Amino acid sequence: MKEDAVILLAEDDDGHATLTRMALREAGVNNEIIRFRDGQETVDFLFGTGQGPSREADVHYLLLLDLRMPKVDGIAVFRRIRQDEQLRRMPVVVLSTTDNPHEIETCKNLHCSRYIVKAAGYKALAEALEPVRLLLEHNPTTGPDP
């Protein structure tokens, strides 16, 4: 078993990905980060459906999931994860640009660990990502039991 969980960052916007990566470091999260540019890449990695690298059995992952992505959107990725016997307990932190109540509701029902609204401003973003560090420190291996 690897000791540190690997962070999977599913984010289509290059700027957001860069800022999130930096803000996580700022928040004291030094875990390895793997980034996906859309839902399809994310699914391919998690379920081994693509030609690229895929999930390793003995690694714990935490997924930072942007909702609005091309091809396969975040919610669809989320649903597939919760339907999978091996992945259903993986912690998923949702990153969204809005606090749309409808979206929050959907994510809560899918048992997201956190729903984080992407803050406008670097410091604010780092603060918003604090809970990710706490999640990793406390229990990096298990998410909620859906």
Partner 1 sequence: MKKDTKTSAQAVELRRRAEEGLSEKQRSQRSEAGDQSTEEETQRLVHELQVHQIELEMQNEELQRSRAEVEAILGQYTDLYDFAPVGYFTLDRDGTIRQVNLTGARLLGVERSGLVNRRFGLFVSADSRPAFNAFLKKVLESQAKETCELALRKEANGPLWAHVEAAATQDGQACRAAVVNITERKRAEAEVHAAQENLSAEQRRGQRRLKKVIRELEHRNRDLQDFVHAASHDLRAPLVNICGFGDLLGLACQRARAAVAGTQDGESLRAGLRPLLDEEIPESLEYIRTSSSKMDALLTGLLNVSRIGSAALTIEPLDLNRMVAEVVKSTEFSVEQAGATVQVDALPPCRGDANQLGQVFSNLLDNALKYLDPARPGVIRVSGGQNRNEVIYCVEDNGIGIDSKHQDVVFGLFHRLNPSRGSGLGLGLTIVRRSLDRQGGKIWLESTPNQGSKFFFSLPSAQLSESAPSKRHRQSETEVRR
Contacting residues toward partner 1, per CB under 8 A: 12-16, 18-19, 22-23, 68, 70-71, 96-98, 100, 102, 118-123, 125
Smallest separation, CB 36 to partner 1 (Å): 14
Residue closer to partner 1 (CB basis): 16 or 88: 16
Residue closer to partner 1 (CB basis): 57 or 120: 120
16 vs 22: CA distance, rounded Å? 10
Residue closer to partner 1 (CB basis): 2 or 71: 71
Residue in 124, 120, 96 with CA at minimum distance from that of residue 108: 96
Residue in 13, 68, 54 with CA at minimum distance from that of residue 37: 13
Smallest separation, CB 72 to partner 1 (Å): 9
How far, in whole angstroms, is CA 22 from its chain's centroid?
15
Smallest separation, CB 76 to partner 1 (Å): 9
144 vs 7: CA distance, rounded Å? 17
